[in-house]
Structure 1
Amino acid sequence: MNRRHAVKNIAFLMGGALSATTIGVFLDSCNPPSDKKGASLFSSEQDLVITELADTIIPTTKTPGAKAAGVGPFISMMMAECYPKDAQDVFVKGLDDLEARSKKEFNNSFAKISAEERKQLVGKLRDETIETLKKDNEQAEKDKAANKEPKKNPNFFAMARDLTLLGYFTSEIGATKAYEYVEIPGRYDGCVDLKPGQRVYV
């Protein structure tokens, strides 16, 4: 299986398309993204914000959420080790902007406000991101029509969403609790009808 097929499989696993920046990370060669590596990319306060952001995207419901699956440290590691510097800079700025908005609207750090308040902020951020990505896609189509190379504009929330989903559904908790997990499967069935409310198989 080549890398492009692997990316498509990951996108399918996560139930939708990856952002252009994340696809670029998977398709590009594994060159060091920048001089900043490991935990040094983020402060301890930013690591807390990343963990709470991931847990807001995938909260605990009938199954454990992103925090229980250790997605926060996964995001920090992936961003520091795999993403290029321009994406890292956008992500760090996005964290700072999210923190500033939290303090402005709720007078406290994003990591310390209530789950409902975090949900409100992330909802606004999600809606803004949808509009931004829509405009980026329109511009990319224009660039293709003009035989230009479309620009890949890193987007903070899109990257956070991608890494949250990737980290969660490839974790032990995501694979065994969120999916219908069969440790030792029997015969292969290419098409299995699911009962209402049943989890998909992994």
Structure 2
Amino acid sequence: MTGIEASSGWSIDRRTALAGIAGVFGASLFAPLARAAGYEPVPKINTGKPAVVFTPAQRALVAALSERVMPTTDTPGAIAAGVPDYIEHMMGDWAINDDRDLILGGLAALDARSMADFRKPALKASSAQQDALLTLAMNDQLPGGARFFEAFRQLVVTGYFTSEVGIMQERTYLPVPGDYDGAYPASKVPRIFSA
């Protein structure tokens, strides 16, 4: 199936959801996301088997870091939503070499800093240590850190909120919202509505 489907029979095209969420990031939208949403010219797109971009260690690190960005709480986290696979798909099918180099370089910088600070690869670092590494990247205290962090964060957030988990469990899906009530207390809204 090309859309996200639930047992209730509704479906939404992931590209439509991506275009909607892309507006949140504005002009700083990471190029592969802009291409997938139709905002930038598209280079030759892979139409064959999914591209393999990451080594097994990099793939595991992407999974661990994506879960740090969007952790499991009372709703499933990034891993359960399929975000690591989404990121590899975006890097393999929608990214050009410069985009891939940004992500791969950021992963390498995190690994190098983890080895220097914690004497272990970033994948084997504790959750608190991984958070510290991501904070260093966010604050541009690693080579290319801020650019990497923003691109990675956008990939995680977009992958999460365009997944079935993000649409159906993190948000409340209302295909046809109820009556308008201008005085409805926001405190009674359990989650943001998706439509």
TM-score normalised to the size of structure 1? Answer: 0.71
Percent identity, aligned pairs only? 28
Q: 1:138 matched to which residue of 2?
A: none
Q: 2:96 matched to which residue of 1?
A: 84
Matched, 1:100 2:109: no
Long gaps (5+) in structure 2: 1-15
Report if aligned partners of 1:168, 1:174 keep a CA contact under 8 Å in 2: yes
Report if aligned partners of 1:56, 1:115 keep a CA contact under 8 Å in 2: yes
Q: 1:166 matched to which residue of 2?
A: 158
Task: Give, in angstroms, the shift of residue 165 of structure 1.
Answer: 0.5
Q: 2:171 matched to which residue of 1?
A: 179
Matched to 1:167, the amino acid is G
- CA change 1:190–1:127 in 2 (3 A) is farther
Higher strand residue share: 2
Task: Give, in angstroms, the shift of residue 52 of structure 1.
Answer: 0.9
Report if aligned partners of 2:45, 2:93 keep a CA contact under 8 Å in 1: yes
Matched, 1:156 2:167: no
Q: 1:60 matched to which residue of 2?
A: 72
Report if aligned partners of 1:19, 1:162 keep a CA contact under 8 Å in 2: no
Higher helix residue share: 1
- CA change 1:18–1:42 in 2 (3 A) is farther
Q: 1:137 matched to which residue of 2?
A: none
Q: 2:6 matched to which residue of 1?
A: none
Structure 2: how far apart are the matches of 1:175 and 1:119?
26
Greater than 6 Å deviation, 4+ residue runs: 5-8
- CA change 1:76–1:125 in 2 (3 A) is same
Q: 1:150 matched to which residue of 2?
A: none
| Secondary structure, counterpart of 1:128 in structure 2 | coil
Q: 1:118 matched to which residue of 2?
A: 130
TM-score normalised to the size of structure 2? Answer: 0.74
How many equivalent residue pairs? 171
Task: Give, in angstroms, the shift of residue 97 of structure 1.
Answer: 0.9
| 1:111-155 CA distance string (max 9 Å, x none) | 2211111111111211228xx899xxxxxxxxxxxxxxxxxxxx2
Structure 2: how far apart are the matches of 1:190 and 1:20?
34
- CA change 1:30–1:190 in 2 (3 A) is farther
Long gaps (5+) in structure 1: 135-154
| Secondary structure, counterpart of 1:40 in structure 2 | coil
Task: Give, in angstroms, the shift of residue 58 of structure 1.
Answer: 0.7
Structure 2: how far apart are the matches of 1:6 and 1:181?
13
| Secondary structure, counterpart of 2:140 in structure 1 | helix
Q: 1:151 matched to which residue of 2?
A: none
Structure 1: how far apart are the matches of 2:119 and 2:191?
39
Q: 2:62 matched to which residue of 1?
A: 50
- CA change 1:18–1:61 in 2 (3 A) is farther
Structure 2: how far apart are the matches of 1:18 and 1:163?
15
| Cα RMSD for the two superposed structures | 3.1
Task: Give, in angstroms, the shift of residue 29 of structure 1.
Answer: 2.4
Picking from 20, 33, 36, the partner of 1:9 is 20
Report if aligned partners of 1:56, 1:119 keep a CA contact under 8 Å in 2: yes
Task: Give, in angstroms, the shift of residue 157 of structure 1.
Answer: 1.5
